A and B are shown apart, each in its own frame.
Chain A
Amino acid sequence: MVAPEQEPAAAAPVLIAARGLTKRFGDLVAVAGIDFEVRRGEAFGFLGPNGAGKSSTMRMIGCVAPATSGELRILGLDPQRYGPRIRARLGVVPQQDTLDLELTVRENLYIYGRYFGLPREGLRAKVDELLRFAQLSDRANAKVEPLSGGMKRRLTIARSLVNDPEILLLDEPTTGLDPQARHVLWDRLYRLKQSGVTLVLTTHYMDEAEQLCDRLVVMDGGRIVAEGAPAALIAEHSTREVAELRFEPGGSAGAVERLAGVLSGAGERVEVLPDRVLLYVEDGEGAVVSALDAGLRPLSTLVRRSTLEDVFLRLTGRSLVD
């Protein structure tokens, strides 16, 4: 079989559409009137720090929380009226696992499929397939409790696929996992994306957003502060390179004045963090040389490319992970 030509995302149908979507808990505004669209086949991300409103948005998309106001359509349906019908076509990976730790790996997958009304016979084959996908076939009859965090997360993802969902919602899929386990998980998610599943994920890791998302929105304080492809967001809101100068505590005082002369091009700027100074420039190596010439004596220097972290810092004045 020949793989179908990849459709340009703009032409694909809209699966999720939100207009002025708002969620309040009493006086607390968790989501403050956001607009976004997710198209079929996309990997779409909500990037932002804890408390930005990402999880509340995900719960509304997952039809387990009513919107306070605004409009939301999922697969063309109103979640307040057609929750069960929509949920039948979604896969959900919640931020906190809801696995039954006392049941076996296989039982967890099987019983979850039963919640969707899947018949017993087909389900057994499906469970075997999911066990292979999650690389858990050899643990099929083990209880979930002693599994590692990465294994539990893979099991949760496998479980969310039991109904062959059209949209997979992943809330902080790799939070709390070690780097090795994160890479295994990213690989599994990448395969899903290749097979045409629409991914919607939240994360506060900029590397995760860059790895997985075709398009993302940056959220802060319940609002969307920027939207676009990761590379486009970086190009729009940051410089090509960043030179990081690390100082002794308090050693960066007066650095800004001395560095003013280092900056040349448009959009170049200095950002002072407690432990280091960031130079947003086109030529990082050149900026470091100029800084040393200007008499600065940093403990160490590092030149790197701009990331989404820098975009977030630029847009909100804060870093993603405190």
Chain B
Amino acid sequence: MTVAAASRTSAWRVVEYHAVNARRYLTSVIVLSVLTPLVYLLALGVGLGTLVNRHGTGTLGAPYLAFVAPGLLAAAAMQTAATHAANLVMGGFKWIRVFYGMSATPLTSRQICDGTLGFIALRLVGDAALYLAIMSSFGAARRWEIVFAVPAAVGAAMAFAAPVAAIVASMQSERNLFNVLFRFVVTPMFLFSGTFYPVSRLPEWGRWLAAASPLWHGTELARAAALGGASSASVLGHVGYLLAWLAVGVPLARWRFRVRAYR
């Protein structure tokens, strides 16, 4: 019976749409997911790392490659998440309008939101796993606990992607939003969240900025997973901070999806 079957819909159907849609770009997705870690690890870990290591890595606690690799993993996840949250939400409501097609079906605005965020998270898990594999081929994986760098990076990236989705869902057109978002938020966050150097090197205001950004907390967690030596109190603090962002960001995104689709 179709009516009975119709009640079986869920946010997974939205994930399925995004997957079918992404299949068209499969080749470029894979190439990008492999090239990004390769280029960054080679340039920074190996290239810059040779220079850094020559001057001593006492403050880092590990050779530069092992130090920078988990940071790059978290930063890459965050950039992919921000790009996808912006493009998929603007595409869904404005460019392709596919979210309006969905909202005419039993799918709710909440399911459309959750499925879109869920697809991004799954995509990030795949990317991060690939990153991890390439890291270990460079010899940057020193212990098995490094696998926890994946949930750390994905969690931090989603903590940022959810409010991005909320903001984009509130915009009638992209105008300069994407430029502002990437030039003044995403890129500075990438540079000042302890990806390339410990934030203890920054002046105090810089340390506060880093502490506010979800990326720094994700980076610290990923690095703790990769290198060990973090206290459980600091781990709990980082996890708690990211969960707080998610606890605010996800309902915010659901609310903005509802306002946009149901008015």
Give the B-binding residues of A (Cβ under 8 A).
Answer: 62, 64-66, 83-85, 87-90, 92, 94, 96, 98-103, 107, 111-112, 114-119, 163-164
- Contact of B5 with A114 in the complex, beta carbons under 8 Å: no
- Cβ-based interface call for B55 (8 A): no
- Contact of B263 with A115 in the complex, beta carbons under 8 Å: no
* Given A64-B261, A98-B98, A107-B20; A117-B104 close (CB under 8 Å): no
* Given A87-B106, A98-B100; A103-B21 close (CB under 8 Å): yes
Interface of chain B residues 1 through 39 with chain A (CB within 8 A): 2-3, 5-10, 13-14, 16-17, 20-21, 24
Q: Note all chain A residues with C-beta closer than 8 A to B16.
A: 111, 114
* Given A85-B7, A117-B13; A66-B100 close (CB under 8 Å): no
- Contact of B21 with A115 in the complex, beta carbons under 8 Å: no
* Given A111-B16, A116-B2, A117-B10; A98-B101 close (CB under 8 Å): yes
Mark each residue of chain B from 96 to 115: 1 if its CB lies under 8 Å from any CB of chain A, else 0: 11101111111110000000
- Cβ-based interface call for B205 (8 A): no
* Given A98-B97, A98-B98; A117-B9 close (CB under 8 Å): yes
A100 CA to B101 CA, complexed, in Å = 9
Main secondary structure of the interface of A (DSSP, over half): loop
- Cβ-based interface call for B262 (8 A): yes
**Contact for B104 among A92, A101, A114, A164, CB less than 8 A:** A92
Q: Note all chain B residues with C-beta closer than 8 A to A83.
A: 108
* Central interface residue in B103, B104, B261, B263, by most chain A CB within 10 Å: B104
A280 CA to B167 CA, complexed, in Å = 57
Instruction: Say how far B259's CB is from chain A's closest CB, in angstroms.
Output: 11
Instruction: Say how far B115's CB is from chain A's closest CB, in angstroms.
Output: 10
The 9 residue pairs across chains A and B that have the minimum distance between CB atoms: A88-B6, A98-B101, A117-B8, A117-B9, A92-B104, A115-B105, A84-B106, A88-B106, A98-B97
Q: Note all chain A residues with C-beta closer than 8 A to B2.
A: 88, 116, 118, 163-164
- Contact of A100 with B98 in the complex, beta carbons under 8 Å: yes
Number of A-B contacts (CB under 8 A): 94
* Given A87-B104, A163-B2; A65-B263 close (CB under 8 Å): yes
A98 CA to B16 CA, complexed, in Å = 17
Q: Note all chain A residues with C-beta closer than 8 A to B21.
A: 100, 102-103
Q: Which residue of B lies closest to A93 (CB)?
A: B104
A85 CA to B262 CA, complexed, in Å = 16
A116 CA to B20 CA, complexed, in Å = 16
Q: Which residue of A lies closest to B262 (CB)?
A: A64
A114 CA to B105 CA, complexed, in Å = 10
A278 CA to B44 CA, complexed, in Å = 82
Q: Note all chain B residues with C-beta closer than 8 A to A98.
A: 96-98, 100-101, 104
23 contacts across the A-B interface (CB closer than 8 A): A62-B104, A64-B103, A64-B262, A88-B6, A90-B104, A98-B96, A98-B100, A98-B101, A100-B96, A100-B101, A101-B96, A102-B24, A103-B21, A107-B20, A111-B16, A112-B105, A115-B102, A116-B2, A116-B9, A117-B5, A117-B7, A118-B2, A163-B2
* Given A62-B104, A102-B24; A88-B13 close (CB under 8 Å): no
A62 CA to B105 CA, complexed, in Å = 9
- Contact of B20 with A103 in the complex, beta carbons under 8 Å: yes
Q: Note all chain A residues with C-beta closer than 8 A to B263.
A: 65-66
**Contact for B9 among A64, A99, A100, A115, CB less than 8 A:** A115
Q: Which residue of B lies closest to A65 (CB)?
A: B263
A159 CA to B98 CA, complexed, in Å = 13
Q: Give me 6 other A-B pairs in contact (C-beta within 8 A), A65-B262, A89-B6, A118-B6 excluded.
A: A84-B108, A85-B7, A100-B98, A103-B21, A115-B107, A117-B13
**Contact for B106 among A66, A85, A96, A107, CB less than 8 A:** A85
Q: Which residue of A lies closest to B9 (CB)?
A: A117
- Contact of B20 with A111 in the complex, beta carbons under 8 Å: yes
Instruction: Say how far A94's CB is from chain B's closest CB, in angstroms.
Output: 7
* Central interface residue in B10, B13, B24, B261, by most chain A CB within 10 Å: B13
Q: Which residue of A lies closest to B95 (CB)?
A: A101
A107 CA to B20 CA, complexed, in Å = 8
Q: Note all chain B residues with C-beta closer than 8 A to A103.
A: 20-21, 24
Instruction: Say how far B201's CB is from chain A's closest CB, in angstroms.
Output: 46
Q: Which residue of A lies closest to B98 (CB)?
A: A100
Instruction: Say how far A164's CB is from chain B's closest CB, in angstroms.
Output: 5
A83 CA to B10 CA, complexed, in Å = 14
